Structure 1
Amino acid sequence: MTAISAPGARDVFALAWPMTLKALFLHGTVVIDGLLVAPLGEGALAAMGLAAALGGIVLGVIFAFSHAMQIRTAQAYGVGDPVFLKSALVSGLAISVSIGVGGVVVINLVAGAVVDALAPSVAVATQARTYLAIFSIVLLGEAIGQCIASYFNGCSQTKLPLLGYLISVPINIVASLGLIHGLWGLPAMGVAGAATGSAIAISVQTVVWLAMLARRHGPVFQSVGWRNDTLARTAHRHLTFALPIAATFISATLATHVCSLIYANMSLNAFAAMTLIAPWNLLAGQVAMQWTQATGILVAQLLGKRTPGPVLDRFLSRAWRGAFLAAGIVAAIFLVMCLSLDRIYPDLEPETRATLFGFLPILMVIQFPRATNAICGNTLRAAGDTVYVMHIFIWSQWAFRVPATALFVLTFGLPAFWVFSLFLWEEIVKFLPFHRRLRRGDWKQRDVAA
């Protein structure tokens, strides 16, 4: 009898590298928009920042549910049932579009009053409201597009979402540049030009992904029936699966924002250092995080195929070694970054640069427990153990990191190094419950097709 072969590190890499580039494009676009608007002055930046913060709440919810869509699709893809695939896609789209439409309605109803209350001036509030009105197109486009991109990822076609970004990002840059500053005969729209450029780019990107979906997966829509008898029951099952995953990501976002507000009570240099390290942490961390997400996709597919436990173990051992390699790469990136602080931030005060450099030991060590925890989390999610994973994240954030941050900053006034070390301690807190659950092994027998 021929032994069943397990996927290897190359299979994970084939999925992970397009997902990593896509994530870098996604987060990098925000930085680019800021650079394009910066010449308009602090008022324009404040208007864009305020509007983007409100719109970003809706986008965050969309992205959270798209991650659940990715795993559910991978399960269906592993089962090989076109009805299951159609059910996952239609249910995911229905939920995502509902979030997008609901978000647009809420923004149009209440955002004006929120903007007026938070904006430092009437001019900033006016620009922010205009930006948000145009940004509604982005929200609706992303509600459709991110769901389709996650569907592609779950079907091991991670290059297709990347192709969409390779098309949309240049369009966004060129259109925003022209519309912000009135270049090439285009109207000078200021901050509204940045939102319009994004809306144009996301619209094109969504159309491209819809065309890819129709061309590559058109027959899926022709399959008769639904996974759980009716569309309503199927959508309810999808929502039941997705809610704990979405809650995990939403909780992480809220915890980060709460901690950022607490950081504002630190000294100016310490707060600046905590603010500057955040985008580095986000961007560089994508290398390891996308590797672990790709691992989760393959685990979901293998479980859908009812792969024997020993084969799953062999695959995870290979994926784990790759995750440690990815963590090492991220640690090396932070080493180079910290050794180059004088060149990257030549205008920073020496105390701020010293604080940033002091984060180096934590930045290098944390990558390894973070990567192995992420392997556990994505594997357990792939097996449908989403509620347990949600509890680990929520309790480690709200029962540990957030109150510990408040204690360290507001009560004891500890240096930035110790405040930043809480990220490492959070990973240590999650380590035992994650690995103990994974080692139990009952996840290998889960029926993910239910």
Structure 2
Amino acid sequence: MENARNEFNSKLLQLSIPLTLQFLFASSFMLIDSMMVASLGEESIAAVGIAGQFEFLLGMILAGVLSGPSVFMSQYYGERDYDSIKKLAALTVFSGLAISILFVILLTFGSPFVFTPFTGDQQLLKTTATFVSIMSCGYVASAVTTAYAMSLKSIGVVKVIMYLTILSLCLNTFLNYVLIYGHFGFAAMGVYGAAAATLISKLLLLLTTIVYVYVWKKEVAVSLLILPWLDRELIRKVFRITKPIIIHESLWGLGTTMYMVAFGMSGAAAIAMIQISKVIGNFVSAGISGFAQSASVMIGEQIGMQNREQAQKYAERFTRIGCILAVVIGAALFTSAPLVVRFFHISEQLHGQAIWILRIMSCVLICNFLNNIWIVGVFRSGGDTQYSMKLVLSSTWLVGIPLAFFGAGIMKWPIEVVYGLYATEEISKAIIGLWRYKSRRWQHNLIHSA
């Protein structure tokens, strides 16, 4: 018993700390962009926020497509089947590349019309369209980097990606300082400097990741010749499990975009406030996302080894730790909300509303943490993707979105009240998810039963 607990703690520290830090640093790109353009005005913050919605949507689609192979790789790693892992790594890279290129094409030819649901302000539309056009190639770089990172994570390699992300983030921060405000002989580019800085740093992250994979970690190094030789039966098994995840993540990402449309009904200032809450919320949630990914690897490996009881114990331990973290972080965010808001230099009349939004977020943080741990770390690692899809989509499209549009579009309530209605999605998701977690019906050995 003591040995099992020590093994859990050792592996948790080995995986969760690098993964959590990697997610925190990765989420800091948008946080730093928003903070460094804050002094340029609410329009610049809003433009970064609208552009961020499309990056978030792409991220959700990629998460759906790439998570399925990642789940299988974790379970194959439990059996040390490196041949299958290599094939799945190829599938993730080619899928990420194809999806991101298509996404960039749609944004390029659809601009600026794709941004009109968020605002009718013509200047804001122009600013957003130019911002996205500069950093669009960064979407492709991020997609391929994410594919390699998920493959590495599935075989327990996490520290290197964390270090490379830190390097990229440092470059992004430095280039923001140089290009936004004009230093070291460069012209001041304003909000467009933030886009250029993000593009360059993401390209660096892709380059360094590729060098690492092909020089040191050839287990997931993808050959251009491997795709035609992929195992069709393996693809069929993966797609059967992945299809609900794709639908789940894509429609949830679209639902999150619809929330921004609802918030946009209250004007550009409301979008700026929501952007502040989103970058802070994403930064806070990034930590638990890394923790949930650790759970996915560790629980998936136990299921692959057919240790069902141990997998359940792991799920219970991750849940308890998540609850403690949520209470501590939520209390800290609730208390420090006035100080956090001041970093973004928003006008005094919006200051009080922004504080209320952050405090509402802090109160429902425990639901957010539990949903991440259960859906990403527990249910998905056990192949329970059909249930996860139904849980997420019903809470988003049947609860949160209707209430947000009712509050913003019909009742014209203040933005902090609309945000509270938006938060009902996480609450309802956690209540329903608790039953599934306790039922133990989420465990499925994919590599033997799919």
Q: TM-score range by the shorter chain?
A: 0.7 to 0.9
Offset of residue 45 of structure 1: 6.2
Query: Residue by residue, what CA displacement relative to the aligned partner does 1:137-196 show, whole Å, maximum 9, x if unpaired?
Result: 212211211111111222222212211111111222333443455543456655554333
Would you say the 8 A contact 1:69–1:147 is kept in 2? no
Task: Name the counterpart of 1:303.
Answer: 303
Q: CA deviation at 1:68?
A: 4.1
How far has the Cα of 1:403 moved from its partner?
1.2
Q: Distance in 2 between matches of 1:133 and 1:346?
A: 27
Aligned length: 445
1:299 partner amino acid: I
Larger deviation: 270-279 or 152-161?
270-279
Q: What is the rounded CA distance, in whole Å, between the counterparts of 2:116 and 2:419 in structure 1?
A: 34
Shift of 1:37: 4.7
Aligned to 1:434: 433
Q: State the partner residue of 1:402.
A: 401
How do 1:188-267 residues align onto structure 2 when only pairs under 5 Å count?
192-219=192-219, 230-265=230-265
Uncovered stretches (5+) of structure 1, i.e. residues with no partner = none
- Structure 2 CA distance for aligned equivalents of residues 304 and 251 of structure 1: 29
In structure 2, the CA distance between the partners of 1:132 and 1:359, relative to structure 1 (3 Å rule), is closer
Matched AA of 2:97: V
C-alpha distance in 2 between matches for 1:200 and 1:67 = 27
Q: Distance in 2 between matches of 1:351 and 1:40?
A: 16
Kept after mapping to 1: 8 A contact 2:213/2:220: no
Cα deviation per residue 1:100-121 (whole Å; 9 max; x = unaligned)?
Answer: 2212332333336657997855
Alpha-carbon spacing, 1:413–1:96, altered in 2? closer, same or farther (3 Å)? same
Question: Is the aligned partner of 1:386 residue 2:346?
Answer: no
Q: Are 2:110 and 1:136 equivalent residues in the alignment?
A: no
Structure 1 residues 187, 68: closer, same or farther in 2, change over 3 A? farther
Which residue does 1:293 correspond to in 2?
293
Q: Secondary structure at the match of 1:156?
A: coil
- Whole-Å separation in 2 of the counterparts to 1:52 and 1:87: 32
8 Å Cα contact 1:270/1:415 also seen in 2: no
RMSD: 4.0
1:373 maps to which of 371, 387, 392: 371
Report the TM-score when normalising by structure 2.
0.82
Query: What SS does the aligned partner of 1:14 have?
Result: helix
Say which SS state the counterpart of residue 184 (structure 1) adopts: coil
Residue in 1 that maps onto 2:71:
71
For residue 399 of structure 1, report the CA deviation from its aligned partner. 0.9
Tell me the equivalent position of 1:19.
19
**Counterpart in the other structure of 2:313:** 314
SS in structure 2 at match of 1:8: helix
AA paired with 1:149? A
Contact 1:287 1:326 in 2 (8 A): no
Task: Return closer, same or farther for 1:291/1:199 CA change in 2, 3 Å cut-off.
Answer: same
Question: 2:356 touches 2:416 (CA, 8 Å); kept in 1?
Answer: no
Q: Which ranges of structure 2 fall in alignment gaps of 5 or more residues?
A: none
Larger mean CA deviation between 238-247 and 342-351 belongs to 342-351
Distance 1:137 1:30, change over 3 A: same
Deviation at 1:414, TM superposition (A): 5.5
Separation in 1 of the partners of 2:201 and 2:369? Answer: 33
* Structure 1 residues 373 and 439, CA gap change in structure 2 (3 angstroms): same
Contact kept in structure 1, 2:304 and 2:447, CA below 8 Å: yes
Assess, with a 3 A threshold, how the Cα gap between structure 1 residues 170 and 262 changes in structure 2: closer, same or farther: same
1:82 and 2:82 are equivalent in the alignment: yes
Aligned equivalents of 1:148, 1:304: Cα separation in 2: 22
On the 8 A contact 2:407/2:421 being kept in 1, the answer is no
Q: Is the 8 A contact 2:399 2:424 kept in 1?
A: no
State the secondary structure of the residue aligned to 2:111: helix
User: Which has the larger Rg?
Assistant: 1
Following the alignment from structure 1 to structure 2, what is the Cα–Cα distance between the partners of residues 36 and 346?
10
The 2-side partners of 1:269 and 1:43 are apart by: 8
Give the conservation status (yes or no) of the 8 Å contact 1:51–1:132.
yes
Tell me the secondary structure at the aligned position of residue 438 of structure 1: helix
The separation in 2 between residues aligned to 1:102 and 1:11, in whole angstroms, is: 38
Closer, same or farther: CA 104–405 of 1 in aligned 2, 3 Å: closer
Do the aligned partners of 2:179 and 2:188 also contact (CA within 8 Å) in 1? yes
Task: State the alpha-carbon separation in 1 of the partners of residues 130 and 353 from structure 2.
Answer: 41
Deviations 1:21-43 (CA, angstroms, capped at 9, x unpaired): 22222222123234545666777
Alpha carbons of 1:233 and 1:199: their partners in 2 closer, same or farther (altered >3 Å)? farther
CA gap of 1:42–1:392, structure 2 versus 1, over 3 A, is: closer
After superposition, give the CA deviation of every residue in 1:337-386 in whole Å (9 maximum; x if it has no partner).
236478667875478527734864x5454233333333332311111111
Of 338-347 and 433-442, deviating more is 338-347
Shift of 1:296: 1.8
- Identity within the alignment, %: 19
Secondary structure of 2:4's partner? coil
Classify the secondary structure of the residue corresponding to 1:291: helix
Q: Deviations over 1:77-96 (max 9, x none)?
A: 22210112112101111111
Deviations 1:271-328 (A, max 9, x none): 8765543333222233333322321221111112222x22223222222221112112
- CA gap of 1:237–1:342, structure 2 versus 1, over 3 A, is closer
- C-alpha separation in 1, matches of 2:125 and 2:412: 34
Matches of 2:417 and 2:124, distance apart in 1: 40
- Following the alignment from structure 2 to structure 1, what is the Cα–Cα distance between the partners of residues 351 and 183? 38
> In 2, Cα distance between the equivalents of 1:219 and 1:423?
43
Distance 1:419 1:72, change over 3 A: same
Q: 1:88 to 1:112 in 2, by over 3 A?
A: same
The equivalent residue for 2:163 is 163
Supply the distance in 2 between the matched residues of 1:381 and 1:10 (Cα, whole angstroms).
Answer: 23
TM-score normalised over the length of structure 1: 0.82
The question of whether the paired residues in 2 share the 8 Å contact of 1:22 and 1:165 is answered with: yes
